[in-house]
A and B are shown apart, each in its own frame.
Chain A
Amino acid sequence: MTSSAAVPSGDFAVQILRALDVSSPLLSAEAFPDRKYVEIKAALDRLASREMIKYDTIDREEAVLEPEGEVIAENGSHEARVFEALRAAVEGLSVQELEKVIGDKNITKVGQGKAFKEKWIAKTSDGKLKAMKDSIEDITKEQLQTIRDTRMLSDSKALADLKKRKLIRFEKIISFKIHKGSKFALEIPEEAVDLTAEMLTSGAWQSIAWKPYNFRALGAEQNSGALHPLNKVRAEFRNIFFDMGFTEMPTDKYVESGFWNFDTLFVPQQHPARDLQDTFYIAEPKLADKPRPESPDDKKDYEKYWEEVKAVHQDGAHGSIGYRAPFSDEESLRLVLRTHTTAISSNMLYKLAATKGPDGRPPPARYFSIDRVFRNESVDATHLAEFHQVEGVIADYGLTLGGLMEFMSTFFGKMGITDLKFKPAYNPYTEPSLEIFAYHQGLGKIVEIGNSGMFRPEMLEPMGLPKDMRVYGWGLSLERPTMIKYGISNIRELLGHKVDLNFIKTNPAVRLDKN
């Protein structure tokens, strides 16, 4: 808002000019004691911006009576009232009688104590109270009256004492000392707010007086649209993947069978991740078909793959002893909401195994995806039943662990995350499994930023991938780095229908490589 728009009346500004013409400098507290601070300030700013006046601000503290102080200034201090009441009663008064006369139990009690202390009153042998002097001086009343009239008291010790007794308070009073400015005049000239087409046509712009622009205010609201912050971070991740030669995987399957979501990844059928507590199962439809060709040109032998997967779990194969526990076909066909996009990676790698490169072997490949996954979690500040998984896969010949760590350094380096540390971890489908940690400036410690590893031979070899083709896989959630980046502590402020539209609209562009 511009200050000139806040001016309640043009007349007041003119009044100031007139008063200043009579006496300069002018003290606002004296010249306009009844005007409100904002009113004066707005008028002065308006005049000052036109250099018609100059002003200085004067900060001053004034003493003001509290309600109890007002009563004392009016009726006298409690002790004086007690004294006066007793002096008026020749025979003295009992405490009850005194209370009746004063009409306030509390004032009577406090006043009595003080009056005793001042030796103004005493107790008679029959237990009554009586005055001991003919007259007293009620200093408190006088001081408060002075303050009421002048808003100040020269005795600073007494002032502090009254403040302590909660009879007065201090108020900060801002007033102004006003001087004439270089363009002082008695009238405010007519001014144009903006340049218009008419002014250009008529040439009026050449002689016009311009209303000064308020350079301290914001410009006009843009009514702009906005992309969601989480999708802005997603775009950055996608660009990093594209930079590094990755192809986006088709993640358009929220529903997967246990076979693709777990079994092909060598997740044992009795793994806790498959509990009802962790995974959403589908009531309708319940069961998938056994894996089968997706189109007439799909010539892969899915039946063989199924048997291979089953064998490696149940009896062991490809140099593995397997889990040596019964493999249930029905468990494998149960439909679930995918718990990770690794189900898609598995499908892609199975397709890769059937692809022949120029040398007759499956060609090296790089895949990625960023999409929604589902966990049957109890919802809290850091858990939702849905979140986005960022996933990357590299398949190549003769890959090494040192290469995986080097790749991660480059990948996270593109987000400005450096000095990675790798911790051994367990994951049913990767061996080795490496948790990725990085130092977090805000938290002052290293935090886990993702998971990575090399897919197990038990997952790859049943697909028909050559033994020396190794596959890196890694993943992280899209929400976690975003929450860390924007200091969001509740995931529901980032994903879902409870997100504040203002947050979406005002969230800055995302540049992961910058702070």
Chain B
Amino acid sequence: MPTIAVDKAALFEELGADYTTEEFEDLCFEFGLELDEDTSQSKKPEDLAEPSQLKIEIPANRYDMLCFEGIALNLRVFLEKQKLPQWTLTAPASGELQTLTIKEETARIRPLCSGVILRNIKFTQERYDSFISLQDKLHQNLARQRTLVSIGTHDLDTVNGPFTYEALPPEEIEFMPLNQTNKMNGKQLMEFYEKDKHLGRYLHIIRDSPVYPVIYDSNRTVLSLPPIINGDHSKITVNTKNVFVEITALDKTKVEIVNHMLVAMFARYAESIEPIRIISPHNNESREAPDLSPRETQAEIEYLNQVTGLNLPPTEISRLLSRMGYTVAPSKSDSKLLDVSVPITRADVLHQADIMEDLAIAYGFNKLPRQNPNKSATVAAPLPINKLGDITRLEAATAGWSEVMPLILCSHEENFEWLNRIDPGGLAIKLANPKTAEYQIVRTSLLPGLLKTISSNRHHSVPMKIFEVSDVGFIDTSRERKTRNERHFAAAIMGKTSGFEQVHGLLDRLMLMLKSAFITREEGLTNKKLEGYWIEELDDPTFLPGHAAAIKLNIAGKQHTIGTFGILHPSVLQKFELQYPVSTLELNLAVFL
């Protein structure tokens, strides 16, 4: 969630009240914001040396509160100190709109562009900073690091329309980027900003494209190279009077949301909002932008009342919803409906559920009438595999073993090489983008986690007896998700002697508790239908030769190999940095379901 820092004194002046920190915290809480910090309460000298700030966490979908102006406006409306403004467009006296022509080639890289002009704006340093900061916040959030949308703002008096939005090979675009002193072409610009901490992370968006998006004025002055940087020529300053905003994007919805936010937040400092004419016949996007009319929709009175548990008349619903920025009137066509105008600031409203939530917020979540949630009786049940797993957990603990919970993700070598196992391919689920080499795959065995746990508990006295009951994962191309989980039981013992009989004894105990009888080899061989388990010597490089066994099970008329146990091979001990002998047991529980 974005956190916005605003000047405390300025905000309280806008709200017409001098709140204590607690009072303001409560107001935020009620409205769905979170006061992160009031720097006047800070103990840091650098905080106290500056004018006090309020750091406010904004819900991720409230783009209309990403700056001081938006927070002040929405809280003033909520406190019924004003109605939400109705923003309107004013054509220039000449009647001639500025035009922006979108060339078809832009479809290859960043197809959409919109814009607006703020006439006779009066910036102060604070307003200017807020304007720049809002663009930055929109770039980070809604625009997902400028990939989806990017904004360029220009001093209109330094450029001459009509404007064009084009896509050209990087070498053909040459200009002086913002705050630079040398001209460079698109290719050189990529190299120039390669190492730049701020801009470097946006270069990938267009770098490898054969054409780069660019906006020119009628003199071929470059306004911007979206989504990377503006030209120095048209940069805005605190003294700029007329601001030309251009917004390029990948989707139609977000380009206008951004336009709406900039207009709604900063039109208060301008004399008028002037539309621009966009000429884009190739994709039917020719229009005047922006469209500032609210979205007209309807909400069912019964739905609003029923879900909130209220029984409010339309007039009261209407009053409460106006505190959230809506304009509401009873529908002329249907008495069960309300006509709701959703203002341009409320891009987050998609469904009447959103309107219902706003009604609940305006009423006060914590004041809503409480109701009995137990409408129907339902029957509880555990998941069978969890019930089975819990039986083995309790039995292992009762037998004197301690439960551990290592992680499910591990490195490839821990899961394979360190256990003297070879990755056969197509077995382990591999991650695409882990941040560290600790997490490369989903484990296919519980052993690495157990051995790592022992290794980090070397201060503990021996013998150390631990176990885990949890899932491992495998690739399984027959399934929709191409993978499956499998519930395993595993135990490990480290002591001065191997503990081989200990893990064997634990296996016997578990089998006894799971009602599986031990079959001696002779009986097992002569009577294939006998149900129960037996063990067979196993040649497995994880274990010391001659000291490993496969666990076999006859259950429900089928024979399974459900696991292995043995004394770990000394080379495995060395890899996991274990100084004493270790024996392990691992088995698949799913067959006992």
Contact = CB atoms under 8 A, between A and B. Distances in A.
Contacts of A321: 295, 297, 350-351
Interface of A: 223-228, 230-231, 235, 238, 241-257, 260, 270, 272, 275-276, 280-292, 294, 316, 318-326, 335, 337, 363-366, 369, 372, 374, 376-379, 384-386, 394, 396-407, 409-410, 421-426, 428, 431-434, 454, 456-458, 470, 472, 495-502, 504-505
B431 A282 contact: yes
B457 A500 contact: yes
Contacts of B401: 225
A410 to B, nearest CB: 8
Nearest to B476: A285
B474 to A, nearest CB: 10
A251 B471 CA distance: 10
Contacts of A374: 408-409
A285 B483 contact: yes
B449 A497 contact: yes
Nearest to A468: B306
Nearest to A245: B378
Given A405-B368, A456-B353, A505 B402 contact: yes
A285 B402 contact: no
Contacts of A376: 433-435
Given A227-B394, A384-B407, A421-B29, 17 more contacts: A227-B397, A253-B483, A255-B481, A255-B483, A285-B429, A289-B480, A324-B253, A337-B431, A374-B409, A385-B439, A394-B373, A399-B307, A405-B370, A423-B34, A426-B32, A433-B357, A497-B407
Given A245-B377, A403-B309, A432-B360, A254 B471 contact: yes
B430 interface: yes
Interface in B458-486: 460, 464-466, 471, 473, 475, 477, 480-485
Nearest to B380: A242
Contact of A281 (B372, B404, B432, B484): B432
Nearest to A289: B480
Interface in B47-68: 59-62
Interface string B291-309: 0000101000000001111
B380 A424 contact: no
A246 B483 CA distance: 27
Given A254-B471, A272-B144, A398-B375, A323 B253 contact: yes
Given A226-B397, A496-B405, A406 B351 contact: no
A378 B361 CA distance: 35
Contacts of B253: 323-325
Contacts of B356: 431-432
B95 interface: no
A510 to B, nearest CB: 13
B501 interface: no
B382 interface: yes
B518 interface: no
Interface string B269-304: 000000000000000000000000001010000000
B333 interface: no
8 contacts: A225-B401, A226-B397, A281-B432, A321-B351, A401-B360, A402-B308, A421-B29, A426-B348
Contacts of B382: 238, 242, 248
A419 to B, nearest CB: 11
A426 B59 contact: yes
Contacts, number: 296
A153 B408 CA distance: 71
B525 interface: no
Contacts of B297: 321
B141 interface: yes
Contacts of B404: 228, 497, 499, 501, 504
B380 A256 contact: no
Contacts of B144: 270, 272, 275
**A396, A401, A505: most-surrounded residue (chain B CB, <10 A):** A401
B368 A254 contact: no
Interface in B85-105: none
Interface in B1-39: 1, 29-32, 34
Nearest to B472: A254
Contact of B485 (A252, A257, A363, A386): A252
B82 interface: no
A52 B464 CA distance: 45
A376 B34 CA distance: 25
B254 interface: yes
B350 A316 contact: yes
A320 B355 CA distance: 12
Given A270-B148, A386-B407, A403 B431 contact: no
**B432, B436, B457: most-surrounded residue (chain A CB, <10 A):** B432
A406 B368 CA distance: 11
A404 B482 CA distance: 37
B352 A319 contact: yes
Nearest to A367: B378
Given A225-B397, A401-B309, A497 B456 contact: yes
Contacts of A472: 373
B251 interface: yes
A67 to B, nearest CB: 38
A226 B253 CA distance: 56
Given A242-B382, A426-B60, A227 B393 contact: yes
B31 to A, nearest CB: 7
B437 interface: no
Contacts of B125: none
Given A396-B376, A406-B370, A432-B360, A283 B430 contact: yes
Contacts of A290: 480
B152 to A, nearest CB: 21
Contacts of B484: 252-253
Nearest to B401: A225
B407 A422 contact: no
A254 B473 contact: yes
Contacts of A257: 480-481
A404 B407 CA distance: 34
A386 B485 CA distance: 16
B372 A403 contact: yes
A458 B370 CA distance: 26
Contacts of B30: 424
Nearest to A396: B375
Contacts of B473: 254-255
A457 B353 contact: yes
A428 to B, nearest CB: 8
A325 B221 CA distance: 32
B378 A246 contact: yes
Closest 3 CB pairs of A and B: A424-B32, A426-B59, A364-B376
A282 B430 CA distance: 6
A431 B381 contact: no
A256 B439 CA distance: 18
A495 B375 contact: no
A369 B385 CA distance: 13
A326 B249 CA distance: 13
Given A270-B148, A322-B350, A422 B366 contact: yes
Contacts of A289: 480-482
A230 B405 contact: yes
B480 A324 contact: no
A421 B366 contact: yes
B406 interface: yes
B396 interface: yes
Contacts of B471: 252, 254, 372
**A323, A425, A456, A505: most-surrounded residue (chain B CB, <10 A):** A425
B386 interface: yes
A247 B482 contact: no
Given A282-B430, A320-B350, A497-B453, A379 B148 contact: no
A400 B308 contact: yes
B371 A406 contact: yes
**B59, B429, B449: most-surrounded residue (chain A CB, <10 A):** B429
Contact of A501 (B307, B464, B483): B464
A502 B409 CA distance: 24
